[in-house]
């Protein structure tokens, strides 16, 4: 399972805040863990907010604690440098306003997690997020296991893993990639895609994320909000990584 939240934007006018926070604190325990828990949760007993948040909390509790010795094996950090976007030069992170010129604050973070329960045993969960990347993209991709025994396809045909992608931004939709037989007498197999887009499918434009949350708050619907115990659990899971990566004795990026 791969959960990605990429941004084209830089830190903008938030340099002083971001330099004391970084991508790990800014994105992983809230945005990325919210998506992870929605994917990994078991079916709730009802559709009310408490039942859904109960299952999200259970999923976070099943996350395997990050061992300090494996922090640099199961995570990566980076910081954007100067370059160009659409032919226009853009500055490095250290040259942004209110950012220390020797800053080691990460603007990109990726972490591998494991969920120790019956459904997700031995399934790797990758979460990643960063600033100043190629394109703005938020999505959840589930890559299915390889076939245990190959029955179809000619020799030389590549059978890709089936993949289900739930697209969140910039356009909401679902994409399913799977193997299909090529028309003709031979048993050739090729990977194909089926794509659904909410905007074109229903002829409506979805409300921006924060507009939806503000509306839910005004209606008293807490379904999409992290409960205090889930927030605490998220930070408990992340602290070993923060203690190791952001320790003042550590220099540079892994």
| Residues 135 and 54 sit within 8 Å (Cβ to Cβ) | no
* Residue 112 pLDDT: 96
Region 96-109: what's the mean pLDDT?
93
Rg, Å, the chain Cα set = 21
C-alpha–C-alpha distance, residues 24 and 254, integer Å: 14
Given its phi and psi angles, is residue 58 left (phi above 0), alpha (psi -120 to 50 degrees) or beta?
Answer: alpha
* Residue 188 pLDDT: 86
Most distant pair of Cα atoms in the chain: their distance: 66
* Residue 51 pLDDT: 96
| Residues 97 and 15 sit within 8 Å (Cβ to Cβ) | yes
Q: Is 35 helix (H, G, I), strand (E, B) or coil?
A: helix
pLDDT band at 246 (very low <50, low <70, confident <90, very high): low
pLDDT digits (tens, 9 = 90+) for 48-99: 999 999 999 999 999 999 988 889 899 999 999 998 888 889 999 999 999 9
pLDDT digits (tens, 9 = 90+) for 207-231: 888 898 999 999 999 998 999 999 9
188 tagged catalytic: no
Whether the per-residue pLDDT at 248 is higher than 50: the answer is no
* Residue 114 pLDDT: 96
C-alpha–C-alpha distance, residues 190 and 177, integer Å: 10
pLDDT digits (tens, 9 = 90+) for 168-211: 988 899 999 998 888 988 888 888 999 999 888 988 888 888 89
Please, which residues bridge with residue 138 across strands? 5, 169
pLDDT digits (tens, 9 = 90+) for 130-157: 999 988 999 999 999 987 777 777 776 7
| Residues 159 and 178 sit within 8 Å (Cβ to Cβ) | no
C-alpha–C-alpha distance, residues 50 and 54, integer Å: 6
Q: Which of 13, 31, 149, 188 is catalytic?
A: 31
| Residues 216 and 225 sit within 8 Å (Cβ to Cβ) | yes
Hey, what are 123's tokens?
């399934």
Region 26-54: what's the mean pLDDT?
95
């Amino acid at each position: 399972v791969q959960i990605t939240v990429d941004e084209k934007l830089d830190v903008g006018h938030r340099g002083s805040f971001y330099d004391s926070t970084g991508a790990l604190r800014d994105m992983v325990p809230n945005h990325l863990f919210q998506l992870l828990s929605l994917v990994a949760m078991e079916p709730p007993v009802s559709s009310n907010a408490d039942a859904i948040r109960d299952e999200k909390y259970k999923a976070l509790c099943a996350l395997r604690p990050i061992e300090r010795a494996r922090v640099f094996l199961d995570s990566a950090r980076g910081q954007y440098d100067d370059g160009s976007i659409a032919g226009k030069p853009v500055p490095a992170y250290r040259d942004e306003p209110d950012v220390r010129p020797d800053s080691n604050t990460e603007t990109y973070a990726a972490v591998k997690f494991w969920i120790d329960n019956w459904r997700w045993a031995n399934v790797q969960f990758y979460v990643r997020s960063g600033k100043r990347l190629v394109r703005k993209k938020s999505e959840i991709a589930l890559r299915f296991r390889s076939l245990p025994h190959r029955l179809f396809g000619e020799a030389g045909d590549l059978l890709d893993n089936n993949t289900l992608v739930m697209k969140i931004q910039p356009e909401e939709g679902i994409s399913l990639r799977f193997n299909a037989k090529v028309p003709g007498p031979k048993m050739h197999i090729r990977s194909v895609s089926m794509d659904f887009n909410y905007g074109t499918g229903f002829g409506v434009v979805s409300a921006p994320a924060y507009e939806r949350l503000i509306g839910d708050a005004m209606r008293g619907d807490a379904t999409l909000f992290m409960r205090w115990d889930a927030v605490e659990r998220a930070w408990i899971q992340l602290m070993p990584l923060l203690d190791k990566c952001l320790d003042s004795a550590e220099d540079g990026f892994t």
